[in-house]
Amino acid sequence: MNYIRGKYPRLYPLYDEIYNKGINLYWQQLDKELKEFASEQGLEYKINDDSFTKPFNAKPVIVNYFYHSKIKKSAQKQR
């Protein structure tokens, strides 16, 4: 956190909120924005999942790897 505070002071409050205070609002907002973008573009949206296969000429899929299992239980990989 000292690195962030020193090199990117304007981002420090966000990092502090996420990593020190455990507040997940940033990730939730990012998820919302990505869902909306995918919908507007007519694309499928997935969270933390690359287990699917599609034909080579299929439309792209947006996969959000940043919305991890700490935030959303359904994003947890089954073991």
Q: What is the pLDDT of residue 24?
A: 86
> CA 8, CA 20: separation in Å to the nearest integer?
16
- DSSP 8-state code for residue 60: P
pTM of the entire predicted model: 0.68
Q: Which residues pair with 61 in a beta bridge?
A: 44
Q: What is the pLDDT of residue 79?
A: 39
Q: What does the pLDDT look like over 12-22, one tens digit per residue?
A: 999 999 889 98
Low-confidence stretches of the chain (pLDDT beneath 70): 50, 52, 67-79
Structural contact between residues 24 and 18, judged by C-beta atoms closer than 8 angstroms: yes
> CA 35, CA 47: separation in Å to the nearest integer?
10
